[in-house]
Amino acid sequence: MGYFGTFSAVINSKSDELAQFFKNYYKENIGLKHDNKIKSDVLIYARENNWVVIKWPRTYFLYRKTSKEISNSLQTIVSTVNVYDGDFWEHFFFKKGDLIDTFHSAPDFHGEYGGRNIELIDPGDAHLIATELNLEVKNIKPYFNRDESKEVRYNKVFPEDIYELLHGLVFIDFWDKLGINLPEEDVLPEYAFDFKEEFLVEENKRYFEDYYL
């Protein structure tokens, strides 16, 4: 399906607070953009429904670490999603600096589960998320269904949804139930930043060394 994308949504925050976080956190390794913002590395959009959405660059793999730092620094909830080639999506749910829930739509995709029970790997806890956000669990839980039957995978969770459950972009429908709206690609962000190229190279190198070694 060919889509890669990583996004975070921060509740009870403002775009200028997040912009200041990025300046403080990355210091000289990041620069504020004033033109051609849409093509920048990091995009911070205007708050909508009490959520501020961040778009991460495809070449940045430390989004979980940074999401945790944002959640801790602002003492709030951060919902982060990652889509891999449109084939699967992951969800990381942080509260005040703690990762309290994870979901992976296809934990056996790369075959790296070491013989563990796949059903127990990142199953997602809809009850926890619903409780934290004061939502109805019935509107969240179906997105964590990993049933492989065609009746489930090749259908939408709800009639108003955009994507079928098997599609990695179904996270957009999931986010919609959380009150998060993913901005269209032509929407200008309120803030945009570019990383220094050498910083990205070193950070990603460190990530892969930690992951594989």
User: How deeply is 34 buried, as exposed, middle or buried, from its count of CB atoms within 10 A (0-12, 13-18, 19+)?
Assistant: exposed
Residue 165 CA: distances (Å) to CA of 41, 146, 147: 29, 9, 10
pLDDT at 213: 42
Give the other-Cβ count within 10 Å of 85's Cβ.
11
Task: Tell me how many degrees the CA angle 204-187-173 measures, rounded to the nearest 5.
Answer: 75
Instruction: Evaluate if residue 127 carries a pLDDT over 80.
Output: yes
DSSP letter, residue 176: H
Q: Please say if the pLDDT value at position 203 is more than 90.
A: no
Residue 65 CA, chain-centre distance (Å), reads 12
The answer to whether residue 212 scores a pLDDT higher than 50 is no
Domain that holds residue 57: 5-212
The tally of CA atoms less than 13 A away on the side-chain side of residue 63 is 25
Measure CA of the first residue to CA of the last residue in the chain; give whole Å: 30
pLDDT tens, position by position, 37-85: 888 999 999 999 999 999 999 888 889 999 999 999 999 999 999 999 8
pLDDT at 193 over 50: yes
Q: Taking phi first (over 0 means left), then psi (-120 to 50 degrees means alpha), and beta for anything else, what does residue 29 get?
A: alpha
What's the structural domain count of the chain?
A: 1
Average pLDDT value over all residues in the chain = 90
Return the pLDDT at 209.
65
pLDDT at site 46: 96
pTM of the complete model: 0.91
Percentage of the chain beyond pLDDT 90 is: 69
What does the buried/exposed string (b/e) look like for 8-33 if buried means 16 or more CB atoms within 10 Å of the residue's CB? Answer: bbbbebebebbbebbeeebeeebeeb
Between CA 209 and CA 101 the distance in angstroms is 25
Stretch 169-174: mean pLDDT, rounded? 97
Task: Give the pLDDT confidence score for residue 173 in this predicted structure.
Answer: 98
